[in-house]
Amino acid sequence: MTTPNNGDTVTIDYAIKRGDGQEVGSTADAGPQQITLGGGQIFPQIEQALTGMEVGDETSVDIPCENAFGPRREELVVEIPRSNLPPEAAPQPGMQLQAQGQDGQPITLFVVEVGDEAIKADGNHPLAGEDVTFDLTLRDIKQAA
């Protein structure tokens, strides 16, 4: 059988779980995902695992938080005066907001608390500080030309 190499495009199904085993995402709704190996589209540990797999193989890859979404950074939890929000905004906990960082790059913030005068928003990835496990199934390999 054939195993994929750098430059090959693979089709995978995956489920991502927190360290406590709770599933927090998968391809169940969106369908299988295509990844070009060596393209930096996914964690290196997953690419490495995929290069040893054959179509139909399943594996689990554990990734510690420092190699996944990084540690939680409390400085990314900010208070935003409601006067800085668009007047039509009706913020609710869990809502996503787009902001611009000091370096000009876009940042996704998640509303965590809503008050009368201000909201609290978190710029950390929802899985920051979490060890994660990816359960992978290799569905297809398209070898690079």
Predicted confidence (pLDDT) per residue in 101-134, tens digit: 778 888 899 999 999 999 999 999 999 999 999 9
Q: Is 4 within the bounds of a domain?
A: no
Q: Is 3 within the bounds of a domain?
A: no
Residue 1's pLDDT is 64
Q: Is 65 within the bounds of a domain?
A: yes
Mean pLDDT, rounded, of the chain: 92
Closest by Cα among 119, 112, 76 to 94: 112
Residue 85's pLDDT is 84
Q: Indicate if 109 and 137 belong to the same structural domain.
A: no
Q: Report pLDDT digits (tens) over 30-70.
A: 899 999 999 999 999 999 999 989 999 999 999 999 999 99
